């Protein structure tokens, strides 16, 4: 299996992680309200004291949220200081063939590089490009709509609008995606119309082209990493709507139709039907805002959501509703916004393709732009990065003793033989650094801790030479 993004939760961490999650967006909003060039929330994770004689338990932590505005008077880092901080960690053979870049976003100064222009397989770090393009180009409050329209002889037709967060979960039940629209709400609206409904059909996908990029591994469908991409899906095509790593369905549109029929108390076969152009809309639900969906995509490293967001971008910019069109739209928008995409090749928007190529310089430049004031539309991207030892795909990384825990926010990327980590860290001197680190040729199980050590070294870095 190629797709390897994992975010599990150990029992000893559950007590504090839920608290951490609830504070993330509130604290970032408060920090940004302070104004100035940079202002962030950082989460210092302090191990909880254990009374003498208590049996050893999995390490837990308390959450001490702190707002750390970054001011120009903080000591300026130097290339010599960063090189010294990284020197020991760079000797780790687990890093394999490493490329990377570290930048001071306050000044734009490049502080450290290693072959930053060499295009490398980014894995899920490609989602940084997707998030950046979508946030730069589209309205952050934009929503997608799923409709039910009238067919013939009492049939109703479910029409997807490109939103894979539609859920089969009933009203009041938990959902994997944030503020997911519900099929049961569509059923409730239909019942309120008083229409006599005899059967349910689903409309053909409005997406065109192949539903799977040809470089993807079909085994990753059962492995829970991807599904055929269509305009009508439920729960990201998961067969278990609450299991992030659930196997995916190959007929999620039909799954949606069957869920609607069940909610309406119908037991006949669900078929595909093309609605008339003038078909009456009987019910509609809408997705969460674009910014929320980008956040879900980044924190969960959700491949299906990445592909549908890119197709949404392609449609909005006049391109085709295809996987290839989405990838092309991402690169076009980034170029149009002034980013250098030289050497970059995207076969998809999720990074699942082993044919994707992205240089570390572009990844670092996008994060630095988000940290600065020249691309304000990108700033929300920083809040989508998982917190080291705290959330998302970094929940179980940066173990006790790594100084980056709680202070690093970064997007992970993992495929067989490929590990990437791109993000932002506040140093002990109060300066923000951005970084992109791309490892290849070694086992991700070995490379990821080595990358975490490098990011942690940047946290401890006084970096003044």
Percent over 90 (pLDDT), the chain: 81
Give the pairing type, strands 155-159 and 199-202: parallel
* Amino acid 74: pLDDT: 78
Q: What number is the average pLDDT over the span 415-429? A: 96
Q: How many Cβ atoms sit within 10 Å of the Cβ of residue 346? A: 26
Is 3.50.80.20 the CATH number for 145-288? Answer: yes
Active-site annotation holder among 127, 199, 287, 411: 127
* Amino acid 7: pLDDT: 44
The predicted-structure confidence for 188-227, as pLDDT tens digits, reads as follows 999 999 999 999 999 999 999 999 999 999 999 999 999 9
Q: Is the pLDDT of residue 337 over 60?
A: yes
Q: What number is the average pLDDT over the span 418-442? A: 96
Q: What number is the average pLDDT over the span 95-105? A: 98
10 is an active site residue:
no
Q: What number is the average pLDDT over the span 342-363? A: 99
Of residues 373 and 290, the one with the higher pLDDT is 290
Give the lowest-confidence range in 60-64, 370-374, 400-404. 60-64
* Amino acid 71: pLDDT: 55
Give the Å distances, CA to CA, from 241 to 11, 18, 43, 93, 222.
22, 20, 30, 40, 14
Closest of 461, 387, 397 to residue 423, by C-alpha: 387
* Amino acid 59: pLDDT: 43
Average pLDDT of the chain is 89
Q: What are phi and psi of 412, to 5 degrees?
A: -90, 165
Give the Å distances, CA to CA, from 180 to 141, 168, 171.
15, 10, 10
Active-site annotation holder among 249, 291, 301, 353: 301
- The 3-class secondary structure across the chain, one letter per residue, is CCCCCCCCCCHHHHHHHHHHHHHHHHHHHHHHCCCCCEEEEEEEEEECCCCCCCCCCCCCEEEEEEEEEECCCCCCCCHHHHHHHHHCHHHCHHHEEEEEEEEECCCCEEEEEECCCCCECCHHHHHHHHHHHHHHHCCCCCCCEEEEEECCCCEEEEECCCECCCECCCCCCCCCCCCCCEHHHHHHHHHHHCCCCCEEEECCCCCCCCCCCCCCCCHHHHCCCCCCCCCECCHHHECCCCCCCCCECCCHHHHHHHHHHHHCCCCCCCEECCCCCCCCEEEEEECCCHHHHHHHHHHHCCHHHHHHHHHHHHHHCCCCCCHHHHHHHHHHHHHHCCCCCCCCECCCCCCCCCCCEECHHHHHHHHHHHHCCCCHHHHHHHHHCCECCCCHHHCCCCCCCCCCCCCEEEEEEEECCEEEEEEEEECCCCCEEEEEEEEECCCHHHHHHHHHHHHHHHHHCCCCC
Distance CA(261)–CA(268), nearest Å, equals 8
Q: Is the pLDDT of residue 4 over 80?
A: no
* Amino acid 10: pLDDT: 34
pLDDT classification of 314: cutoffs 50, 70, 90? very high
Q: What number is the average pLDDT over the span 148-174? A: 98
The predicted-structure confidence for 82-98, as pLDDT tens digits, reads as follows 999 999 999 999 999 99
Q: How many Cβ atoms sit within 10 Å of the Cβ of residue 54? A: 8
* Amino acid 56: pLDDT: 39
The predicted-structure confidence for 252-263, as pLDDT tens digits, reads as follows 999 999 999 999
Q: Is the pLDDT of residue 33 over 70?
A: no
* Amino acid 73: pLDDT: 75
280 is an active site residue:
no
Q: What number is the average pLDDT over the span 266-284? A: 97
Q: What number is the average pLDDT over the span 406-421? A: 97
Q: What number is the average pLDDT over the span 132-149? A: 99
pLDDT classification of 462: cutoffs 50, 70, 90? confident
pLDDT classification of 44: cutoffs 50, 70, 90? very low
Percent over 70 (pLDDT), the chain: 84
332 is an active site residue:
no
* Amino acid 52: pLDDT: 43
Q: Topology of 74-139+296-306+317-460 in CATH?
A: Beta-lactamase (3.40.710)
Q: Is the pLDDT of residue 274 over 70?
A: yes
Q: Is the pLDDT of residue 311 over 60?
A: yes
* Amino acid 393: pLDDT: 94
Give the lowest-confidence range in 10-19, 334-343, 362-371, 376-385. 10-19
Domains 74-139+296-306+317-460 and 145-288 share a fold: no
pLDDT classification of 55: cutoffs 50, 70, 90? very low
- Domain locations in the chain? 74-139+296-306+317-460, 145-288
């Amino acid at each position: 299996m190629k797709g390897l993004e994992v975010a599990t939760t150990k029992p000893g961490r559950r007590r504090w992680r839920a608290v951490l999650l609830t504070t993330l967006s509130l604290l970032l909003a408060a920090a940004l309200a302070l104004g100035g060039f940079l202002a962030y929330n950082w989460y210092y994770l302090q191990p909880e004291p254990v009374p003498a004689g208590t049996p050893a338990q999995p390490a837990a932590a308390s959450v001490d949220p702190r707002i750390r505005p970054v001011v120009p008077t903080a000591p300026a880092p130097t290339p010599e200081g960063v090189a010294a901080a990284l020197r020991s960690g760079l000797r780790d053979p687990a890093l394999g063939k490493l490329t990377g870049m570290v930048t001071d976003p306050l000044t734009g100064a490049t502080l450290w590089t290693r072959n930053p222009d060499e295009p490398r397989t980014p894995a899920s770090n490609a989602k940084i490009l997707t998030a950046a393009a979508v946030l730069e180009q589209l309205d952050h409050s934009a929503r997608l709509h799923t409709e039910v329209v009238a067919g013939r002889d009492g049939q109703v037709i479910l029409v997807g609008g490109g939103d894979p967060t539609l859920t089969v979960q009933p009203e009041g039940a938990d959902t994997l995606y944030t503020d997911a629209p519900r099929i049961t709400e569509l059923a409730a609206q239909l019942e309120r119309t008083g229409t006599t409904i005899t059967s349910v059909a689903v409309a053909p996908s409005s997406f065109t082209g192949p539903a799977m990029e040809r470089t993807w591994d079909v085994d990753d469908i059962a492995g829970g990493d991807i599904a055929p991409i269509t305009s009508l899906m439920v729960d990201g095509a998961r067969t278990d709507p609450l299991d992030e790593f659930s196997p995916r369905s190959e007929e999620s549109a039909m799954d949606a139709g069957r869920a609607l029929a069940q909610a309406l108390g119908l037991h006949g076969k669900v078929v595909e039907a093309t609605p008339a152009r003038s078909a009456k809309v009987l019910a509609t639900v809408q997705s969460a805002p674009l910014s929320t969906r980008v956040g879900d995509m980044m924190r969960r490293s959700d491949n299906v959501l990445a592909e549908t967001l890119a197709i949404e971008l392609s449609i909005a910019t006049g391109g085709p509703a295809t996987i290839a069109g989405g990838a092309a739209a991402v690169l076009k928008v980034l170029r149009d916004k002034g980013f250098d995409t030289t050497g970059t090749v995207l076969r998809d928007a999720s990074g699942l393709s082993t044919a994707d190529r992205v240089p570390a310089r572009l990844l670092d430049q996008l994060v630095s732009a988000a940290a600065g004031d020249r691309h304000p539309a990108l700033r929300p991207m920083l809040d989508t990065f998982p917190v080291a030892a705290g959330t998302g795909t970094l929940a179980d990384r940066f173990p006790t003793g790594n100084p980056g825990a709680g202070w690093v926010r970064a997007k992970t990327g993992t495929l067989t033989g490929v590990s990437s980590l791109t993000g932002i860290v506040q140093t002990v001197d109060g300066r923000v650094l951005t970084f992109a680190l791309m490892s290849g040729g070694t086992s991700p199980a070995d490379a990821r801790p080595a990358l975490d050590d490098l990011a942690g070294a940047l946290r401890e870095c006084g970096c003044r030479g």
